[in-house]
A and B are shown apart, each in its own frame.
Chain A
Amino acid sequence: MVSGMIAPPPGAPRAGEPSARVADADLIERSLVDPEAFAVLFDRYAAMLYRYVSRRLGPEGAEDIVGETFLAAFSGRERYDLARRDARPWLFGIVTKLVARHHRSEAARYRALRRSPVDGPEEGPADRVAAGVTVTAARPLLAEALAGLPRRDRDVLLLVAWGDLRYEEVATALGIPVGTVRSRLNRARRKVRAVLGDTDPMREEA
């Protein structure tokens, strides 16, 4: 008996067909006449953005911020530059603006991390354990460094380190030149290294 004609639910990730995937920009263009097409972008990126926001602000407000991000993206979709095939930088740009509204609680979160245990998952995959030792030792220092960074520098640093964006993508996300991305990233990393104990004066002034 043949029963294989049931389609997966719309938007469900389907393994093995990445090449058949419609570009984000095409989805956005389609959403101009068929607004529901925008939901496919949600299915693609909501989880990723949730994880990112949960890192910066914790899980409490992350859900709302992800929801607001997509609403803002939806209402601004006519402005989207369709030459940008990948919508991630655009979405991260919106997320960054929304996270910025909570910069005080973000800084407080990092400050709290200087003293308290990590409030994340209690156990991770085995391959994390080795690195975990160093990270655990460095965590209070890293948190202190993050708490002390100016917001703009922190945005750039975390879009690179936690958002996995390339420099050009960070530039797109924040609407700033790539050179500015580099200089903010360098400045932020210098401060992080300084807190970690790397006080090489050459680097300091580089």
Chain B
Amino acid sequence: MDDLDLLRGLGRDLEHEPPGSLARQRARLLEAAHGRTRAPCGPVRRPRGPVRWPRRPGRWTLFGAVAAVTAALILVPAVLLGGGGVKPPVIPSSNPFAARTGPLNVLVVGSDRRAATASDGAEEARSDTLLLVHLPADRKSAHAVSFPRDLLVQIPSCQGRDGKPVPSRRGQINAAYSLGGHSCARKTIEALTGVRVDTTVVVEFAGFRTMVDALGGVPITLPTPVDDQATGLRLPAGRHLVQGTQALAYVRLRHGIGDGSDLSRVERQQRFMASMLRRAKETRLRNPARFARFLSAAAGSVATYPRLDVAALKALADSMGGTDPGAVRFGTVPVVPAPDDPARVVWDREKAMDLFTQLREGG
């Protein structure tokens, strides 16, 4: 009998069987799972609005981060530069968007390969993020709802990428974009939610890095030092101005930051977004030349459908000048496991309709 065996014997002697009251801890967990518990600690607190949004975001991929940054505030004005250089808008627009002051719904497709701007020609593009962003009429806030990519939905009949019609079918929501591009994604979301999509924005993955660089970096605060082999990120604790590559590593980081009770990756991404939005806003005011570079970088990473003209987007950007980056709320479509396939999810119809009714009718 060696020392380990003796220790094991001691352990068995010291051991207690779990009491029935352990079930209370299970109930505690389920409460947290239902989002009824306290919000996670940390200085970033999203304000509670009149709309009750899901407290805990479900699934935010990196594309979620990119797309939300994009959609929520920055890229909407950014798109005003189209694919070209920086040109001040001079011609008053006849586009209805220009005069539009009501609520606006933007569908953001985070794609790992951007569809070609002019022809929508990329064949292998997949949508890794689908995000519906609602800008209320007063533009004081923005609400983003993400759709899990494995959400099972009825995809309406669409025109395929090859121009041939694709019949209606049941499938994962991200298949819509693969099948029929942005128009099919939009049609699917509209059919599902009843929310009319005013604009679809397709965001390219790689643009994120470029945008951060163009801003001259984005400030982050690390509670503990990070040395992550997977992403190659090495930084001491404290405040840093991270450039594009580091920023990308930071939002992708899975290990080596804090302990199990610290900010989750999702919260970290959302913090980063908020920081990036703040930075963009400051830059816009203090360094117009840099902001123009940023817009140009961003514009190279996105495409809008229908194509919004410069004046329309400039007007939109101006209308969002008062939006507080902290007032961007994030949520996920409420889902339940699919009855016929527990590995996938279907939406929780009642809760989801509640959410989308607010998007349809909310100011």
Minimal Cβ-Cβ distance residue in A for B259: A97
Q: Do B29 and A70 touch across chains, with their CB atoms under 8 A apart?
A: yes
- Classify the secondary structure of B's interface with A: mixed
CA distance A44 to B35 in the complex (A): 22
- Classify the secondary structure of A's interface with B: helix
Partner of B256, one of A36, A175, A189: A175
Q: Do A33 and B9 touch across chains, with their CB atoms under 8 A apart?
A: no
Minimal Cβ-Cβ distance residue in B for A128: B12
Q: With an 8 A cutoff between CB atoms, is A171 at the interface? A: no
User: B96 — which chain A residues lie within 8 A by C-beta?
Assistant: none
CA distance A153 to B33 in the complex (A): 35
Residues 163 to 193 of chain B near chain A (Cβ within 8 Å): none
Q: With an 8 A cutoff between CB atoms, is A193 at the interface? A: yes
CA distance A67 to B58 in the complex (A): 21
CA distance A50 to B22 in the complex (A): 9
With A34-B337, A74-B33, A76-B261 as contacts: A192 and B7 at CB distance below 8 Å? yes
CA distance A67 to B150 in the complex (A): 30
Q: With an 8 A cutoff between CB atoms, is B340 at the interface? A: no
User: A193 — which chain B residues lie within 8 A by C-beta?
Assistant: 3
Chain A interface bracket (under 10, 10 to 19, 20 to 34, 35 or more): 35 or more
Q: With an 8 A cutoff between CB atoms, is A16 at the interface? A: no
Bitwise interface map of B from 29 to 66 toward A, beta carbon under 8 Å scored 1, else 0? 11011110100100000000000000010111000000
Q: With an 8 A cutoff between CB atoms, is B240 at the interface? A: no
Q: With an 8 A cutoff between CB atoms, is A124 at the interface? A: yes
Q: With an 8 A cutoff between CB atoms, is B80 at the interface? A: no
CA distance A34 to B334 in the complex (A): 9
Q: Do A118 and B13 touch across chains, with their CB atoms under 8 A apart?
A: yes
Partner of B335, one of A33, A93, A128: A33
Q: Do B10 and A63 touch across chains, with their CB atoms under 8 A apart?
A: no
Minimal Cβ-Cβ distance residue in B for A185: B4
Chain A residues close to B by CB (< 8 Å)? 26, 30-39, 42-43, 46-47, 50-51, 54-55, 58-59, 62-64, 66-81, 93-94, 97, 113, 118-121, 124, 128, 131-132, 134-135, 138-139, 142-143, 157-158, 160-162, 175, 189, 192-193, 196, 198
Q: What 7 additional pairs, Cβ within 8 angstroms, besides A32-B58, A42-B29? A: A32-B59, A69-B260, A71-B32, A77-B264, A78-B59, A78-B266, A139-B10
